[in-house]
Structure 1
Amino acid sequence: MDNSLRGRTVVVTGGTRGVGAGIARAFTETGAHVVACARRPPEVPFEGVEFASLDLRDPPAVRDFFDALPRLDVLVNNAGGAPFRRLADADAERHAQVIELNLITPLTASLAAYQQLRRARGSVVMVGSVSGSRPSPGTAAYGAAKAGLDNLARSMAVEWAPEVRVNTLVAGMVRTELSHLHYGGEDGVAAVSRTVPLGRLAAPSDIGAAAVFLASDAAAYISGASLLVHGGGERPAFLDAATANKET
């Protein structure tokens, strides 16, 4: 087991529920000191995870938060998300808010954390999405922001090397406490799971394990990379169409 994160300080943005909670828990299992920052505390406190109230859309508050940390070794930019909204159903300002949350706030946090990370020779893990590399109808602004996040991470990895490593964890579909809002009930989750080659949605712990790997010394020579954590992606639709055609 890689024990390189034991005793190190890890900040997980949006680390109070869903994927973020899975990431925070995974880091606690390594013996790291984990701080989860979000606007609201978790409904049930996580053992071993410190909570810090922070609005990531407030740059001065973000700078103050990171400046006050005695040390920082890893920043996981997880906070983000978007409601289902077709492009023509909202104005540009509404879509811009989604882009701000999913692209600008990770940039804000990373810049605020840079000096701390540089001193620690630490790393940044961006939590991206498969929506950033494929059409994302209903969440187009989110997909565009995640595409930008991946490019930002690659540029950041070059500019901040060799002191700070920067990578993107490209997450596929994840089953969380809010999955019913996206996929419906159990039947919906089961139907969506059948489109994934590994036959299931990711668990938050799957994403957490990948984040731990990218932040650990086991990934010491990995920077500017995008790690796909999506269960094999999606079964191509043409294969199902071809199969159906043969059966008829």
Structure 2
Amino acid sequence: MEFLEKTVIVTGAGSGMGQAIAEKFASKGAAVVCADIDVDAATETAEKIKLDDGLSLPLEIDVSSENDVKTMIDRTVAEFGSLDVLHNNAGIPQEATPVEDVSETEWDQIISVNLKSAFLGVKYAVPHLRDGGGVVLNTASTAAIRPRTGLSAYVASKGGMVTLTKQLAYELAPSIRVNAICPVATDTPMLSKFAGEDLSVAGMQDTIPLGRLAEPSDIAAAATFLASDDAEMITGTALEVDGGRDI
């Protein structure tokens, strides 16, 4: 299996894309740390992996907390002896809101969870990833490339994720590869939270040329590809898993 004897951290692994990504890596042989602020959800994902004879560790982590992120990295290495892939996937949505109605508190929270978290993860993971030539994956969004109405804070956070990815890819080469995934609207429980007066889930789907929402499995397939040796010449890219939305 492609990731046998590899250790992978997936943040936001308790549901949706993160859960699918964690299970996909485990199915390919990886030991997976399922990190989530909802420890019950993280544990559920980890238990599903274990039922399929996989190795997994659930962790309750607030990805916007430096202490929590450092603990996540330390616990991973202590449990499994190494770290090979860090997927900064955890994120929170923004309900479609005119920019003049976005509070400073909401802005700060979205930037902290969606963007600062990736900085913190990389900061503490790099010394371990360098040991074996590891991979960093960041979940960005098609909203970073083609913004939608009323998502100023969210778009800023995901646009920052794309440019941070490129900076890190340049800075950490040649020993560490860094790539982002830009999912289009994906069929997860979080999706409806983006809806507002001028933005519906049906409206989102209508903008996708392939005619459907993404599934979590689509994003998981992209993640395992980018982390694999098949992608060894790919770094600094923002892969659009978008059904043509960004054309």
Give the TM-score category using the shorter length. 0.7 to 0.9
Q: What corresponds to 1:159 in structure 2?
A: 171
The percentage of aligned residue pairs carrying the same residue is 36
Q: What corresponds to 2:215 in structure 1?
A: 203
Distance in 1 between residues matched to 2:112 and 2:28, nearest whole Å: 32
| 1:15–1:23 Cα contact (<8 Å) kept | yes
| 2:94–2:154 Cα contact (<8 Å) kept | no
Q: What corresponds to 2:180 in structure 1?
A: 168
Q: In the alignment, does 2:70 pair up with 1:63? A: yes
Distance 1:102 1:179, change over 3 A: closer
Where in structure 2 are there 5+ consecutive unaligned residues? 50-55
Please list the CA deviations of residues 107-129 of structure 1 after superposition, one character each: whole Å capped at 9, or x if unmatched. Answer: 11111111111102110011110
| 1:183–1:192 Cα contact (<8 Å) kept | no
Instruction: Specify which of 2, 5, 23 is matched with residue 25 of structure 1.
Output: 23
Distance in 2 between residues matched to 1:177 and 1:62, nearest whole Å: 25
| Number of equivalent positions | 230
1:6 Cα offset (Å)? 1.7
Q: What corresponds to 2:224 in structure 1?
A: 212
Amino acid at match of 2:87: V
SS in 2 for 1:52: strand
Amino acid at match of 1:16: G
Q: What corresponds to 1:54 in structure 2?
A: 61
Distance in 2 between residues matched to 1:189 and 1:139, nearest whole Å: 14
Q: In the alignment, does 2:92 pair up with 1:81? A: yes
Query: How high is the TM-score relative to the length of structure 2?
Result: 0.86
Q: What corresponds to 2:3 in structure 1?
A: 5
Q: CA RMSD in A?
A: 1.9
1:50 Cα offset (Å)? 2.5
1:183 Cα offset (Å)? 5.4
After superposing on structure 2, the runs of 4+ consecutive aligned residues of structure 1 that deviate more than 6 Å are none
Distance 1:189 1:149, change over 3 A: closer
| 1:197–1:234 Cα contact (<8 Å) kept | no
Paired residues for 1:129-208 under 5 Å: 129-182=141-194, 189=201, 192-208=204-220
Distance in 2 between residues matched to 1:32 and 1:182, nearest whole Å: 33
Please list the CA deviations of residues 21-44 of structure 1 after superposition, one character each: whole Å capped at 9, or x if unmatched. Answer: 111111111111111111112447
| 2:2–2:29 Cα contact (<8 Å) kept | no
SS in 2 for 1:45: helix
Q: In the alignment, does 2:50 pair up with 1:38? A: no
Query: How high is the TM-score relative to the length of structure 1?
Result: 0.86
Amino acid at match of 1:118: R
